[in-house]
Amino acid sequence: MSLNDAAEAPRQRRRGEDLENALLDAAWEELKLAGFNDLTIDAVAQRAGTSRAVLYRRWPGKMEMVAAATRHAILRDRGPAPEPVGDLREDLLHLLRWANRSDVRTIIEATAHLGAYLAQEKLTYRDVRDYFLGGRPPQSHSPIEAAIARGEIDDASVSPRVRSLAFDLFRHEVILNQQPLSEEAMVEIVDDIVVPLLTRKR
């Protein structure tokens, strides 16, 4: 869809979630088309068939809009997060399988499109990851927090690095191999690395 086509399309009266999704889809498509540096609020507004003011009422600037669009693009294929079953190993595996539903190309594209911006602003991928996650609603179920509450693991012995390790390894595998993880790989991450670290005695 070209910008001219988008500009000529009649504007639709959308509200609530329908409008939000249309804006996020438009921002993601423009990011893929133009890259971060050349992305403009005007182009997103034209593609979505709306005005700049509608976008600025939701996001104060381009970075905030791109962060929201990237989260939206990655999460839209996953569906609702799985309900806990009360077992650390099984809950971790359920979450990894849920994350594995995302279109891998979306994760790769999100990483690639931010490369120029990172270099320009002298930021690392961790800086951008922390920024993106900072605007995300809290996860409804954390297997680690639930296991701590059950007394299965000791909160004091779980470092921030170990808390994030399952998804750090998941992300690394996805980007390195450019494909979803196999069931065997997810089981290895949980059984051979994460659960032993979480449950070790100090």
Check residue 126 and give its pLDDT: 73
Q: What's the rounded Cα separation, in Å, for the pair 5 and 33? A: 15
Domain check: are 41 and 131 in the same one? no
Same domain, 68 and 149: no
Predicted TM-score (pTM) of this structure: 0.68
pLDDT for 103-115, tens place per residue?
A: 777 777 777 777 7
Return the number of other C-beta atoms located less than 10 Å from residue 29's C-beta. Answer: 18
**Are residues 92 and 158 both part of a single domain?**
yes
Do 187 and 87 have their domain in common?
A: yes
User: Per-residue pLDDT averaged across 150-156, rounded?
Assistant: 90
Q: Domain of 25: which CATH number?
A: 1.10.10.60
pLDDT at 6: 44
**Number of domains the chain is built from:** 2
Q: Report the candidate in 187, 140, 184, 189 with the shortest Cα–Cα distance to residue 168.
A: 189
Whether residue 113 sits in one domain with residue 26? no
Residue 47 and residue 92 in contact, taking contact as beta carbons nearer than 8 Å: no
Question: CA nearest 29: which of 120, 106, 115, 112?
Answer: 106
